[in-house]
Structure 1
Amino acid sequence: MTRMTLIAALALATVATPALAQRSSPQPPPAALKAPTAQDWRTPDAADVMVIDTNKGRIFVELAPRLAPAHVERIKILTRRGFYDGRSFFRVIDVFMAQTGDPLDSGAGGSELPDLSAEFTFRRGAADPFVPVADAGASQTGFVGVVPVMTQSPMLMAMTADQRITGWALFCPGVAGMARGSEENSANSQFFLMRQAYPSLEKRYTAFGRVVAGLEVVRAIKTGEPVAAPQDQMTRVRMLADIPGAERPALRVVDTAGPWFAAQVAQMRAEDGADFSACNLKIPSEVK
């Protein structure tokens, strides 16, 4: 099988520095956000939450079937087969991602199931759940559940045959994506969890969910390309719905369609101005 790789080239940009800067009056700092209240929380569907136990701690990934239904189904099938138990994080780059899911723990393996067709983009309709956070005219940035996305302008919906527009995931910290070989339709079992934002992956790799709890665990995984022995491992991987009730953790996540998140968006837009990024927005979670 072709070795699964990710594009790792960093794009460099130069920023012109103005010779003169206008003096402006100091602005008071924005008021701190209050703690989320009962109306701000939601409970994810346990059938769409992947629970990854590692030797560094536990990671919860909420899957996004709206964005990549075939890849989400593959993740569920392999998880329920125990395929991911004991798999190593064999390629981990500090400012990039942590890759795993290979039975050979090398990047050269996969499952016996057929490779998947790419789901780099999705089609957004007017009735689809979408929380906008920025509008650039020709495009909109927002959230489908916990996954940050960008889409074409909704004004184009009236001009398309299916009344839908194209959208794609933003590879922000915590986003879960499928590794692949040089062929676009070659994803199989290997996946990666983003440690930092990496825009060059957009529309080139399939995103199937996002870490909603345990990002600090992802960032604590031992780095290397490849990782030197001993490698950190996924000791056990289960769907939250399959964990017996007596030991099943209770997970709740701030709703991106709720008032607390809307207040955060407004605050971040005011603070960051032209540098506003959906990747900087936080989605608090609680695990009990």
Structure 2
Amino acid sequence: MKLHARSRTARPSNTRLSPLLAAALAVGLALPLSAGAADSAKPRSMQEILDATKPGDWRALDPRDTLYLDLPRGRVVIELAPEFAPQHATNIRALARNGYWNKLSINRSQDNFVVQWGDPAEDDKSRKPLGKGTKAKLPAEFERSSDKLPFHVLPDPDGWAPQVGFADGFPAARDTGAKRAWLAHCYGMVGAGRDVAADSSNGTELYVVIGQSPRQLDRNITVVGRVVQGMELLSVLPRGTGPLGFYENPAQRVPITSIRLAADVAKKDRVAIEVLRTDSAAFDEIIESRRNRRDEWYKHPAGHIDLCNVPLPTRETPAAAPAPAKGKSKSK
């Protein structure tokens, strides 16, 4: 396979924890402090905070900006970020509607870095056609204007940006002096691979961060969204033994059943996911609980949190109960 420069540089029913969040908790992101902790000796757990949330604390994923990456072992749900990468999002929607990724494969799994999928063909002439409504070349969408962008600021300094926080539910950074904002390469974030030229991406080769957050990639590659469910299906893939984690044997590649927009999937086959609003009081409480761990296991609260260590809770909403048949009583 030709090694493009893109290769070289690049949640719970009701309020039970999602697999992705549970994984975060397993490495020490758990048990927050309640807003009323001054009046209580026992801090609230993450579950208790989530159980106490109101419907307005959550937002549903927009089916038009939600991708279903279906693999033989299950489904990965990806939320696109059109506010940061509008042209990439448009191309990705068209590619999905054209069935571009169907029957292609995951071709790379580099330890502590990324998993990447797309067309494994080495020769550009042998690569799969993009299909109607797509562009073969997109502008670099590494950053955007910070004007009129709602931004929920974290209180702690960051080594990679003047200021970090959350925008539209995504981990982000900004420079208020330059009036620029960009998405951060945190665990689970999805980016679009490119060649050496900044404008050489077309959104066909996507990758997801599976290791320590490679923030050096920020503003060097277009970030198009994040995984909100099914991350465990990607993070545990066998590591490639070739250069940069590519699979040397084609038989090692993981086949992609399909990648579709949720909007193009029958409602009965969709996953009804909500994500905790990052501008909610519950989210603020979770952040503070992570900055200063006061549950009894911790002896020394850190008083600090890194952007990529803030958990982003999600939940599956239960299916609506079927309406009773006409003329029949609702109860016996």
The TM-score normalised by the length of structure 1 is: 0.81
Q: Secondary structure at the match of 2:172?
A: strand
Judge conservation of contact 2:101–2:259 (CA < 8 Å) in 1: yes
Q: Deviations over 1:237-270 (max 9, x none)?
A: 1111111122222111111111221111111122
Judge conservation of contact 1:222–1:232 (CA < 8 Å) in 2: no
Amino acid at match of 1:47: R
Q: Aligned residue for 2:224?
A: 208
Q: Aligned residue for 2:25?
A: none
Q: Aligned residue for 2:309?
A: 280
Judge conservation of contact 1:6–1:180 (CA < 8 Å) in 2: no
Q: Secondary structure at the match of 2:8?
A: coil
**Relative to structure 1, is the Cα distance of residues 275 and 95 closer, same or farther in structure 2, using a 3 angstrom cutoff?**
farther
Distance between the aligned counterparts of 1:273 and 1:107, measured in 2?
A: 51
Q: Deviations over 1:10-62 (max 9, x none)?
A: xxxxxxxxxxxxxxxxxx99642324223322101111111111123211111
Distance between the aligned counterparts of 1:60 and 1:253, measured in 2?
A: 12
**Relative to structure 1, is the Cα distance of residues 6 and 30 closer, same or farther in structure 2, using a 3 angstrom cutoff?**
farther
Amino acid at match of 1:226: F
- Which of 54, 57, 71 is the equivalent residue of 2:74? 57
- Which of 42, 45, 60 is the equivalent residue of 1:32? 45
Q: Secondary structure at the match of 1:184?
A: coil
Q: Aligned residue for 2:155?
A: 134
Q: Secondary structure at the match of 2:68?
A: strand
Q: Aligned residue for 1:146?
A: 169
Once the two structures are superposed, the pairs formed by residues 106-255 of structure 1 within 5 Å of their partners are: 109=127, 111-112=129-130, 113-125=135-147, 127-134=148-155, 136=157, 139-153=162-176, 156=177, 165-188=179-202, 189-196=204-211, 197-224=213-240, 225-227=245-247, 228=249, 229-255=251-277
**Relative to structure 1, is the Cα distance of residues 256 and 115 closer, same or farther in structure 2, using a 3 angstrom cutoff?**
same
Q: Unaligned regions of 5+ residues in structure 1, if any?
A: 9-27
**Relative to structure 1, is the Cα distance of residues 135 and 107 closer, same or farther in structure 2, using a 3 angstrom cutoff?**
farther
The TM-score normalised by the length of structure 2 is: 0.71
TM-aligned CA deviation for residue 231 of structure 1:
1.4
The number of equivalent residue pairs is 258
RMSD after superposition: 2.5
Distance between the aligned counterparts of 1:41 and 1:178, measured in 2?
A: 28
Structure number with the higher strand fraction is 1
**Relative to structure 1, is the Cα distance of residues 116 and 41 closer, same or farther in structure 2, using a 3 angstrom cutoff?**
same
Q: Aligned residue for 1:99?
A: 116
**Relative to structure 1, is the Cα distance of residues 29 and 116 closer, same or farther in structure 2, using a 3 angstrom cutoff?**
farther
Distance between the aligned counterparts of 1:87 and 1:221, measured in 2?
A: 16
Q: Secondary structure at the match of 1:77?
A: helix
Judge conservation of contact 1:176–1:194 (CA < 8 Å) in 2: yes
Q: Unaligned regions of 5+ residues in structure 2, if any?
A: 11-40, 294-300, 319-332
**Relative to structure 1, is the Cα distance of residues 69 and 110 closer, same or farther in structure 2, using a 3 angstrom cutoff?**
farther
TM-aligned CA deviation for residue 281 of structure 1:
1.1
Q: Aligned residue for 2:91?
A: 74
